[in-house]
Structure 1
Amino acid sequence: MSNGEITLAAGDAEVRVLPGKGGRIGGLLVGGTELLRQGERFGCFPMVPWCGRIRDGQFLDGGVVRQMPLNSPPHAIHGTARDGVWRTARKSADEAVLTFELTDPWPHSGRITQIVRLGEDSLTLSMSVETYEDSFPAQIGWHPWFNRNLGGEDVRVDFHPAWQEERGEDHLPTGNRIEPKPGPWDDCFGMPEGVDVTLTWPGQLELKVASREQWAVVYDEQDAAVCVEPQTGPPNGLNTAQRLVTPLEPLEASTTWTWRRL
């Protein structure tokens, strides 16, 4: 099938899926209101095969040090799939299945599958990384840019993490876990019971970001948008918290956004 834009609809919700632009969600309309920041770099993009920054773009792969392009010098950031063209495997009125084949600069072959499923009051994004050849470390995450303002008061972000990853001057976790601090944030938080973050636009909409994964980066240092990023490990996790994709065991993750009118 083609890699052209896909529109999904359910109730008064509409999602634009952009296979040709990194498999990202280009927009989420609820009752005609756009929840995601618009633009080439925004919407909600998949972070795979890693999330956030890799220190100096290097990670240990078995006994080999791999070098990724430094697209956020001095680090590599947010994986390679957001820059690629995904293929539409199938689609229906409320669901799209996209695939992406890992290739250079990633050193291993593998397939990423992303399922986008829209309900009347929810959006579920699921992703898997699988290989039929060599095992390798990988991460899965999503990077949504929620509009800070929908025409009324600015959004409130509420969550109760067990800890915050101490952030070094290089923007990477130091390895120390600290008591959560007030924002503004560009920080990773640990949620052992699963990601659970509520965004509230007062008098308008409440949206809950949930995932069985235990990590989320919250970024609210820009005026236009707020990011809540569920992911399978912390930034630099290819070095500090490796999870392997093997021929017998893919890496799988999902997140669900649920909303209600206020």
Structure 2
Amino acid sequence: MTTQETTLTAGDAEVTVAPGNGCRISSLKIAGTELLRQGERYGCFPMVPWCGRIADGRFMDGGHVHQMPLNSPPHAIHGFARDAEWTTARASATEAVFTYDLTDPWPYPGRVTQVVALTEDALTLTLGIETYGDSFPAQVGWHPWFNRKLGESAVEIAFDAAWQEQRGADHLPTGERIDVQPQPWDDCFGMPDGVDVTLTWPGEFAVNVTSREPWVVVYDEQDAAVCVEPQTGPPNGLNTAPRLVTPVEPLEASTTWTWRRL
């Protein structure tokens, strides 16, 4: 059991995972080119046990109202597993498994597992939550920060969403679905057939981000990086579209990033 960084390699692909820093993917290099923004808060972190913002940090489970810490006032954002120390359960040259036990302030006991699997042309991330007791609502997802530029090439983002969640002034979905609006985005999109977004750095790389999940947040309002975030529900989804973790059915999701050189 260790929280030391773990590096996986396959062909000319190299992935580094930092379990001591929220089990984030701290580096993804292809033939020496770094695809992820560097820094303690960047890379790609798991969003657990919720994704995006919870309105005022409060969610209901039956008749109980639970208050989460307001880490992005006036809301709670992205869960808190990204700030926790995870444990390395096992690791080989191309696959590693990490765990994290849910504790206060989350009101339900449970375990989160992340599996990181690398091949020569793809990275697959799988997140699961199991309960140690009662059923509870939860979400899982990923928040990668892809470098906006590789060399002199700026990224282009392409996808075909069925709808965009209308965003209110509080950055939360209003519940209305609208046509996809022009960039810039800090928005949630619906893809009922599964997430499928392509990032292209002309003359450098193309990365296809896919998931069976029907929700993705795309964020491109910063100069340094862009984010494509597959997740099991929309922002504030603990209140509007809860997914239950039950003793017989864990919550599990995965995303695969496939790349090719151009």
TM-score, length-scaled by structure 1 = 0.99
Q: Specify the SS of the correspondent of 1:82.
A: helix
CA distance in 1, matches of 2:36, 2:105: 29
CA deviation map 1:190-236 (0-9, x unaligned): 00000000000000100000000000000000000000000000000
Residues 152, 202 of structure 1: 8 Å contact kept: no
CA distance in 2, matches of 1:10, 1:134: 40
What's 1:162 paired with?
162
Residues 116, 126 of structure 1: 8 Å contact kept: yes
How high is the sequence identity, in percent, across the aligned residues? 74
What's 1:83 paired with?
83
Residues 111, 132 of structure 2: 8 Å contact kept: no
Tell me by how many angstroms 1:156 deviates.
0.1
What's 1:36 paired with?
36
Tell me by how many angstroms 1:261 deviates.
0.5
What's 1:57 paired with?
57
Q: Specify the SS of the correspondent of 1:184.
A: coil
What's 2:232 paired with?
232
CA deviation map 1:3-23 (0-9, x unaligned): 110000000000000000001
CA RMSD, 1 decimal: 0.4
Residues 132, 246 of structure 1: 8 Å contact kept: no
Residues 166, 176 of structure 2: 8 Å contact kept: yes
Q: Specify the SS of the correspondent of 2:153.
A: coil
CA distance in 2, matches of 1:229, 1:37: 15
Residues 97, 115 of structure 2: 8 Å contact kept: yes
Tell me by how many angstroms 1:152 deviates.
2.0
Residues 211, 256 of structure 1: 8 Å contact kept: yes
CA distance in 2, matches of 1:167, 1:12: 40
1:17 partner letter: V
Give the 5 Å matches for 1:1-262.
1-262=1-262
CA distance in 1, matches of 2:179, 2:213: 20
Unaligned runs of 5+ in 1: none
CA distance in 2, matches of 1:218, 1:197: 9
1:203 partner letter: G
Q: Specify the SS of the correspondent of 1:16.
A: strand
Residues 167, 187 of structure 1: 8 Å contact kept: yes
CA distance in 2, matches of 1:239, 1:207: 32
CA distance in 2, matches of 1:34, 1:69: 33
Residues 146, 226 of structure 2: 8 Å contact kept: yes
Tell me by how many angstroms 1:148 deviates.
0.2
1:175 partner letter: G
CA distance in 2, matches of 1:132, 1:68: 20
CA distance in 2, matches of 1:79, 1:224: 23
CA distance in 2, matches of 1:243, 1:204: 38
Residues 136, 246 of structure 2: 8 Å contact kept: yes
Where has structure 1 moved over 2 Å in runs of 4 or more?
A: none
1:100 partner letter: Y
CA distance in 1, matches of 2:218, 2:190: 11
